[in-house]
């Protein structure tokens, strides 16, 4: 997270899993088997147990010939509370990686303890069920699920020419694959202005290929597809490359 911020990221996306002792672990994988020296489903551990693991144990860049970070990641898995207290003035996009509605309720309760100005810097996305539950408890938080995104973009493609913004587009995170963007009426600037007026934030993604969700804007070809003067968010997995490309594009 520190490296991403230092490289120029305005917002950092993090994945969370509820633990059996009521916290949230910040960790990508559904299980701990691949990246750590532990076993089992991430959400079926306590936070204390997860902190004992070596999160560098399973990393390899050469197909398993070497594991350069083994022994260097012990006790380094953070909780969501630790992340938010360490970066109180930074923005985060939090990903709930399940379809469990109770997870949405638990995250809502966690975020509800934060000062309003801190909570306003956070956004959440994930499965339809946990997002719906969180939104019902914290309607002011910007959220997104696959269902809510379809409910926003499909009607907008149909009648956005009228200037009417669908109710589903209000106060949400709007993820737009770069190959779908030209279908959106007023893309880019008029569309961005309409979403801003609706209280929503737009992020452009890599091309949508059907089935799986889109990748980030990670290649030179993707960057060339971003319109000149585009002022919305850009989702990337390659922040160093993205920051450099955008600086050159804007010179």
Q: Give the model confidence (pLDDT) of 36-83 as tens digits.
A: 999 999 999 999 999 999 999 999 999 999 999 999 999 999 999 999
Q: Where does the pLDDT of residue 208 fall: very low under 50, low under 70, confident under 90, or very high at 90 and above?
A: confident
Question: Encoding tokens for residue 124?
Answer: 């959440």
Name the β-bridge partners of 173.
Answer: 201
Q: What is the mean pLDDT of the chain?
A: 94
- How do residues 135-147 score in pLDDT, each as one tens digit? 999 999 999 999 9
Q: What is the structure's pLDDT at 46?
A: 98
pTM: 0.93
**pLDDT tens-digit map of 149-176:** 999 999 999 999 999 999 999 999 999 9
Q: So what's the pLDDT on residue 35? A: 95
pLDDT at 27 over 90: yes
Q: Quick one: pLDDT at residue 250?
A: 62
Summarised one tens digit per residue, pLDDT across range 79-119 is: 999 999 999 999 999 999 999 999 999 999 999 999 999 99
Q: What is the pLDDT of residue 219?
A: 87
Position 242 scores a pLDDT of 76
Domain-by-domain residue ranges, the chain?
A: 145-251
């Amino acid at each position: 997270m520190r490296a991403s911020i230092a490289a120029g990221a305005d917002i950092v996306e993090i994945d969370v899993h509820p633990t059996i002792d009521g916290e949230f672990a910040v960790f990508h994988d559904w299980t701990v088997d691949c990246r750590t020296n532990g076993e089992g489903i991430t959400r079926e551990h306590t936070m204390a147990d997860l902190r004992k693991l070596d999160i560098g144990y399973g990393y390899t860049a050469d197909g398993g010939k070497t594991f350069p970070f083994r022994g260097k990641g012990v006790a380094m898995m953070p909780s969501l509370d630790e992340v938010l207290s360490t970066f109180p003035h930074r923005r985060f996009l939090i990903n709930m990686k399940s379809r469990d509605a109770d997870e949405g309720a638990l995250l809502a309760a966690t975020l509800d303890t934060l000062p309003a100005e801190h909570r306003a810097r956070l956004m959440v996305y994930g499965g339809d069920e946990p997002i719906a539950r969180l939104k019902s408890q914290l309607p002011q938080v910007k959220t997104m699920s696959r269902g809510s995104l379809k409910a926003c973009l499909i009607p907008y493609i149909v009648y956005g020419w009228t200037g009417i913004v669908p109710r589903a587009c209000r106060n949400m995170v709007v993820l737009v694959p770069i190959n779908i963007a030209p279908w959106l009426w007023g893309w880019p600037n008029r569309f961005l202005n309409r979403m801003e007026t609706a209280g929503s934030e737009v992020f452009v993604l890599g091309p949508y290929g059907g089935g799986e969700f889109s990748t980030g804007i990670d290649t030179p070809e993707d960057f060339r597809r971003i319109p000149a003067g585009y002022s919305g968010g850009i989702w990337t997995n390659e922040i160093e490359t993205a920051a450099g490309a955008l600086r050159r594009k804007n010179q």
